[in-house]
Every structure is written in structure tokens, then in C-alpha cells.
Structure 1
């Protein structure tokens, strides 16, 4: 780990602060619970083993922390951007094709990392000014708002509106806010974990928790590793390479967006130190490792950034602890099943806070930089980013999918570069 060159006075635990043993465990479990649902959902949708996804996310996060020299508190979980491509490849060519695709995307990250290192990052200020960054950060927070709301309203089994689900989500939300506002000391640092536990107990009382998966799970469960030359003999999968490589640019956009949020939260500039080239290389290395052991490609998680924002605990040691717990849980079937049994309304209640805090961070960027929305250029850029991003506008071409967040970012960058600073009719008004 690096020396503590700077300490953020607003942080309870700053990036290089190491918590005591017991708080460390609680804070790390909080991050684990937060990312668990999304990380295991990806392999479930694709047809991979959720256990290996946990292991690959934990190892990938540790690799990322190592590559970035312990300077960035980011957790890496299964990426949703590759779902369609992975489902197609798994059905036609098996996991070996997914592995080659994941390794290829990692190599694309390394290539871009090399280019960025040679060209520097001055161009970032030109294409990502505050008028683009602020709305993009808001989209990161609000882009999944509808998913969170739907999980809070609709029964998993019948897909029908269920008032019990809504009530559980709102009670979980209310308790999480209460813990965050009124608890002090160690308990004040784990409001998300307390909210999840409380919500789970409420969901049990309402009878919406499926405990059968816990009873059916074994205590020890060896993840379904897919290691080349051990479980399978690799062969060139050109279709996988062509299919998955372009998606790397989508996840890179998300990567940069998450870094922008982390910059604001931690009062640092990770584009300069350790450098965007280093963070890209770290993400690429994590994806390659995931591909080599049988997991889906990984990427940074907005949910965990939300935890950082709410708790003001930014310690990389806490993130590393969550990664270690994820690896362990990949082998402990009972505990994995317990976390997997957390119903959607509980996660939704937490997500209302997590995603909202990220969105508010984007609004804060606009306020701090005193963006003038009487200027038509600023108004148009923000409007297009927010509506396309939150509305879910995507571009699909075969298995290639440009996510709403990525498309909104691209549109914001293009508009910022091509629109004049002052509209022609604004000049007439000034005259």
C-alpha cells in the first residue's frame, strides 16, 4: 500500500486508513452484501456458476487493488454489458469462447491503457468538462432506478403488483435512513448492512423469503472452475473475439464514469494518480483473470460506490476485505444461499439510497462548478444526457449493445465538442 500523501477531512476512514478487526469485518461484509445480488445475477442469466462469479469478482478486485497500488477504493463485480454476447457464445461454443472473449476485452484495455499513457490525459478535460460529467454521474445513479422500483413492486413468482413487496422496500428504506441519521460509532458506519439485515427480518415476517434454497445448499461447494488445459482444451474462437472485443469500449465508458464519481467522493484525481492508464490496466488484468478461471468479465460497481458515499468510509482495506469474503463465500454454499435468498424488495429499499446518493453527487458537480443553464449549450447537453441515459435508450447491432449510460456519455461528449459556446439567437439577444 502507498503512503498516505493526503487525507480527506470529510472521510471517516480515508483511502489508506486501516480499521480495527471487528469494524473491518462489518464494513467489508456491508460491501459484500451490497454487490452480491448483481454479481451472482449475471451468471444466473447467462448459465454460469454463481459461485465462480463470486470467486472471480473477489480475485479480480484484489488484482485491481494491486495494479492500482492500493490507491482506488473500487470493487469489481460481474459486468452486465456482456450478458447477451455470453449467452450466445455459451450456447454455440461453450465456456472456452467466453473465456477468449473475456481475455480479449482485457487485452483491449491494455492496448488503450498504453495509448493513454503515451498521449497523456489532457484530452479528458476537453471531452469531459463539468457539464458532461455532472449529468453522466446522475445517469449512473438513476439509470437503474426503474429496475429498483420494479423489484420493489412486483412479485418475483407471479410478476404481479404486490403491496407486501412495496411495504418491505419502504420499511427497509426507512430503517436504513434512520440508521444513517441517528446511529453513532461503529453502528453509524454500517447503515447499509443494518438496513439489509433489518429488511431481511421484515421480509421473513411477511413470508416472502425462499428459505428452501438455504436448506438445499451444502456447506462446502467447489465452484465450477473452467481453467484452460485443465477443464477444457482451448481453440481459436474468432467469433468470440469479434463479438466481445468492441464491448470493452462500453465498459471503459462506465469505468471512466465511476472514476469521476470516486474523484469527487475521495477528493482526489485518479486520472492523474495513479493515472487512467493504470486504472484501465487494472480493470483489464481483472477481466483476464476472470476469464482464466471460469468467471464472467468484471467491472467496477455503482452499488459499492454508493456505500462509499453514504458511509464516508473509503478505505481500500475494507474493499479488499470484501473481496476476500467473496472468495471464501464462493466455497461456502449455505452462506451464499443465505445471501442469495435476500428478496428483491430488500435490495430495492437499499438501492433507493445508494443510487440516489450517486445521482446527488452529479448534481453537486453542476452546483460546485456554477454551470449556467441559461446558456443553451449547457441546457441541451444536460437534457440529452439525462433523458437518453435515464430513459434507457440503447443501440443494438447483433450481439453488440451500447448501454444507455455509454450512449448518453457519447452523446454528451459529441454535443460538447460540436456545439458553439453561444447559440446564434443568444448572440442576437446579447446585441
Structure 2
């Protein structure tokens, strides 16, 4: 079963033309859900599915699936599905999403060319709004398909121009009425670029992901007392910002300590506000948004506990009032053992060096794990660049990873 490297490259490069942007270094694109670039990318993808003899469906939120059910398979058997997404962040790269989507299609074509006849149908899928760049919610299409969000609610979401998702999809002809139901699939496998350097550092051609990180978000408030910056002596100040600075360093220190045992653990204080935010006023309050991640839920709890301990200390030593609201937690997502085993065996069969690793970013696969068995593969990223025109995966690496993907799905579809 041979992957046609040039055919895969042609598909990815043709897709890269939709929403292409000028870039001094690399190749960039901006493909937002419901844009003209999105329409053209979807239409080409549907055409390519049809060229390969797949029956195409489009659901209410624009998710696209192509079904291959050769005469020799059991058409009533639960299918194995694979794919990714086509949209991008503003000024993103050309591989994030399209590699996995077109590698899935290439996998079907490779099976067809080799005369491989799976026992069950195979589906190639592209999910809507994975990046969340237009409607502010990432992995939106797969969240609907996976049963985490109601389609009507998703269609009512409004973008920055006060246009709903339904209106955007209607305008480009991709608000369908078909069903795409991961709960009816036997398994799902996604190929994505790593967006890191672990594969290149290890000299591996593919990564077999064991788990997708969990994420917990917290809002922290530290309240002091706003005062005149000139007439308030240092010993009389209750400065919320200096206490906040200590808190940020405490979070960093806690994550570094936890990461000595849990490499996948990270903590980020990524957003903040100062009140009243004036040059000549001692800050009266600060608010921070926290992003804490790990593939182990207990570790995430430990990081939150360390944050609470830091705030309790600051109340004692700095005289501030504090609060922490853990307002969202997405648990880690382990991959199915049968998908892991199939991927390991596929890499060995293809002669592609593989390593086990975790995903530090969330992908559509995470939304499907409650509905079916899931697997996730990574292809190497040059310099780890992603969400940038500098994002790059060598074409030989694209083909090698696509080969492991195809072999994994072939095995699962037996």
C-alpha cells in the first residue's frame, strides 16, 4: 500500500491557495469559517472525495464526511473514520488541519490502488471551525458531532460582524441536513502536525499520542487599595500589582516543580488587567486568567491547590483580598488501547520510527473520545513552528505519516 507523495502534496498545496496571504518567511493562509476561501476549500475537498468514489454528506454545522464502502465490505458494519479540519487561524500555516484531512483521503486512495478491501466502511471527515478563529470556540464542529453541544446553539453563535454561523454556512452552501454521528463509528484516527520539536529531536517520523492534555481555566482577583502614587508612602501601600507579581512567579515556580515529575504539566498566566490602570495611582486590583494543563487530572488539581496556597500567603503578608474561580475544566483524554496498538504496529509495518508522546494542544479527537475509540498521530514540525506561515512539515515526512495513518485505519477496519 503506497502513498502517492506528489498527489498528497498537490492536494495540500492546492488547498493552501485558498485564503493565501503574503509572508516574508514561509507560506501563510487565513481561512475563516464561512468565508469565500472556506467555500472554495470545501468545494474542492468535496470534489476530491467524489473523484475517489466516496459518497459525501454535510451536516447542519458544515461538517463534511465522505464514505467509502466497497462492494466487498459489510455496508452495515460500523465504519472507521479519519480526518481533521480545513480552517486556519489568521495568518496560519498550510499544514495544520489540511495534512490530516487530505492524508485521510490519500489513505483511501492508497487502499484502492493496492486493492485493499476493508471489512467495514471507511469515512473521511473534515470538521468545521476547529481553530475557533471566527466564532471564538475551538473544535466547534466536532463538539456538535460528539454530542457536547447542540447544533441549534452552535448555529446561533455570532461572529465579530454580528453574523451567525448558520448565516455564514448558508451563504457558502454548507449548512447541510445529513447526519454525521461519531457514536456510530467503530473508531476514529486523526493525523496532525506535532506543533513541537519532540519528533525531530528524537529523529522519529511519527508520534503515537497516548493522551491529549486536560485544561483547567481559573480567574484570579487580587484586591488592594488604590492610592495616590506620590503622597502614599511605601509603608502604607496595599499594592495589588506587587502582590499579583508575586503570585505570577509563584505559579511559574509551582509548575516548574511539578514538571520535574510530570513533563506534560504546564501553567500559564496569560491574560491580566490592572485597575484603575493609571500611571499615577497605586494599583487597587488585578485580575488574571490562568491556563493549567496536564494529561493527569490529579496534577491539574495540585496546580490549582498551589495557586490557592499562594493567594492565602499573599493575604497574610501583603494585606490583600483574593479570590480564585476555577470556572472551566476539560479533563485529559486518553487514547484507546486498540488504536494505540494499531498505530504502533502500523509504524513498524511501514518501517517508520515512532515514539509515544502526549498532545499539549486540544484537537477534534478529544471531542470524540466519549463516542468511539480514538487515536491521534503526529507528523514532525520543522522547528516546532505552528499557527504561523513558518509552519512546515517536509513532504517526505507528510507521506511517511500518511502511510502510518493509512495502515492504522486498514488494520482497524479489518
Q: TM-score, normalised by structure 2?
A: 0.23
Kindly indicate which of the two structures has a greater share of residues assigned to helix: 1
- Greater strand percent: which structure? 2
Larger Cα-atom Rg: 2
